[in-house]
Structure 1
Amino acid sequence: MGVRLINGVSACDDVSMPTPGTPLPAALIPDCTKPEAHHAAYRSAKANDAIFVCIARQGQRWKVELDAMASSGPTIPDQAVTVLQSAVEALVSAGTATQANIGPDYISMWAIENEERAREIAAAFHAALLGLQQLYTAVPSQRGRA
C-alpha cells in the first residue's frame, strides 16, 4: 500500500478512522480509489467503532461516501436525515455533485469536480453525522411518552 502526502500529512491507504465522536479533518479523509484501500479503511472504521468516510476518484471526478453502519452509534433519526437530505439536494441542485444517495446510515455523492471539494464535503458530512449521533444519544427520546 502506498503513502500519499496531502498538505504534508500522510494519508496512507490503510489510514485509521478517527476515534468515535471525533470528526475527521478534510486533509485526512482517506482516498479509497483502490478497492484494497476502501476495504482497509472500512475495516479500520469498524475496528475503531467510527463512522466510515472516504473519497474516491471516478474518472476525472470524485465520489464521497459515508457509512454510519461501521459504528455502533444510533441510527440517525428521520428528522435529522431530512436535514442531511436537504444539504445533499442543495449540492446536486448547485451542480457540485451530479447524483447522490442518502439513507439513515449511508450517504454517497458522486461526480464532484475535484479532490479538494470532495474532501471538504466528506469532512462536513462526517462532522454532521457524528454530531447528530451525539445529539440523538444526549437528548432523551420523546417516543412512547404520553
Structure 2
Amino acid sequence: MSTLGTPLPAALIPDCTEPEAHHAAYRSAKANDAIFVCITRHGQHWNVELDAMSSSGPTISDEAVAFLRSAVEALVLADTVAQANIAPDYISMRAIESEQRAREIAAAFHAALHGLRQLCIAVPRQC
C-alpha cells in the first residue's frame, strides 16, 4: 500500500517565503510522492499552503472536503485566518498572526489531508 509521504510536525513545515525555497520544497514533495505543505511570510502575517497534486494519491471525497472546509471556516470565524480557499486537492489560508500558529495549522491540516487520503486508499469505495 502507498504511504503518500509522512505528515510533518509543525517544526518541520518549510518556510517557503522565498520563491527558490517554494520550488525546492514542491519538487521534494513531488519526488517523495508526498502532499506539499508550507508556510510563507507576507508582511507581518503568515500564510499556509497545502497541495495534494504533488502526490499520486486519490482525490478525497466531497464529504471529507466538507469536513476540512468546516474546520477552515471555524478558523475564519475565530479571526485566526483572514481568508481561505479549499478544494479537494488544495488548501490555502492567509493572514495568520504568527509563524508558530501558521506552523500548527499547517501541520494539523497536513496530517488531516494525509489521513483522509490514506483512508481513501484503505477503503476505496468510501472515496
Q: Which amino acid aligns with 1:27?
A: A
User: What displacement does 1:21 show?
Assistant: 4.1
Q: Give the match for residue 99 of structure 2.
A: 115
User: Would you identify which runs of 4 or more consecutive aligned residues in structure 1 move more than 4 Å?
Assistant: none
- Unmatched 5+ stretches in structure 1: 1-18
Q: Which amino acid aligns with 1:128?
A: A
Report sequence identity in percent: 79
Q: Please tell me whether residue 37 in structure 1 is matched to residue 8 in structure 2.
A: no
User: Paired residue for 2:122, among 130, 138, 144?
Assistant: 138
Q: Which amino acid aligns with 2:74?
A: A
- Kept in 2: contact 1:21–1:134 (CA 8 A): no
Q: Separation in 1 of the partners of 2:119 and 2:101?
A: 27
Aligned pair count reads 125
Q: Separation in 2 of the partners of 1:140 and 1:66?
A: 22
User: What displacement does 1:139 show?
Assistant: 1.1
The normalised TM-score by structure 2 is 0.95
Q: Give the match for residue 54 of structure 2.
A: 70
Provide the alpha-carbon RMSD of the alignment. 1.3
Q: Give the match for residue 84 of structure 2.
A: 100
- Kept in 2: contact 1:54–1:66 (CA 8 A): yes
Range with bigger deviation, 133-142 or 48-57: 133-142
